[in-house]
Amino acid sequence: MTIYIALLRGINVGKNNRIKMADLKSLLETMGLEKVKTYIQSGNVLFEGPDDSAQLSKQLEDKISETFGFPVPVMLRTAEEYEQIVRNCPYSMETLKEGESIQLAFLADEPSQEKIENLRSFKSEPDECFINGKEVYFYLRQSILDSKLVAQLPKLGIPATVRNWKTVMKLSAMIEK
């Protein structure tokens, strides 16, 4: 069995696409997944499951859509991948000033080199980003809602979901337990 983190995109934001975490947990348990734990309402789930992550991600998306009546992209990472993602962060929480943040976008797939270059070339003072595989690390000196750089993320053409660094670290701590 492999430990996974599933990051669901676009649930419980505003009035649309509501899924209670207790219902999501029950659904994953009925799929035969074990030790299912959720964290906050934005679709973060830790569990143990079979070793085929590509097939599992598709099964999760299909079952969530079938059960709740709307499609939900699922970004799935093994615990090992997730811990490497945390270690790869090029930004430090210690250097953040008031109002600044580190945000992490988890992508469903790796973007093409052309799309990566388009995002890197976007000039968005004062924010910056670092792209590594299926993750985009953002160093924001303003609110994520005001970031023109983060607003470019959909241009990668790949489903993505963003988490703040505090949530990223909380999920990392849950893996260690």
Q: CA 60 to CA 146: how far, in whole Å?
A: 32
What is the band of 15 on the pLDDT scale with cuts at 50, 70, 90? confident
Structure tokens at 152: 């470019």
Other beta carbons within 10 angstroms of residue 7's beta carbon come to: 24
Kindly give the pairing relationship between strand 74-78 and strand 101-107: unpaired
Per-residue confidence (pLDDT) for residue 32, from 0 to 100: 96
Query: 54 pLDDT exceeds 90?
Result: no
Find the mean pLDDT for residues 38-50. Answer: 93
pLDDT of residue 5: 97
pTM (2 d.p.): 0.94
Number of neighbouring beta carbons within 10 Å of residue 72:
22
pLDDT of 60-90, one tens digit each? 999 999 999 999 999 999 999 999 999 999 9
**pLDDT score at 22:** 94
Q: Is the pLDDT of residue 52 over 80?
A: yes
User: What pairs with residue 33 in β-bridges?
Assistant: none
Least confident of 1-5, 31-35, 119-123, 141-145: 119-123
For residue 143, is pLDDT > 80? Answer: yes
pLDDT tens sequence across 82-129: 999 999 999 999 989 998 999 999 999 999 999 999 888 887 788 999
Of residues 57, 73, 69, the one with CA closest to residue 23: 69
Q: Is the pLDDT of residue 14 over 80?
A: no
C-alpha separations of 98 from 12, 105, 138, 142, 146 in Å = 27, 21, 16, 9, 15
H and E: helices and strands count for the chain? 5, 8
Contact 78, 53 (CB under 8 A): yes
Helical spans, DSSP H, in the chain: 21-30, 53-68, 79-87, 113-121, 165-176
Check whether 11 has a pLDDT greater than 80: yes
Average pLDDT, the chain: 93
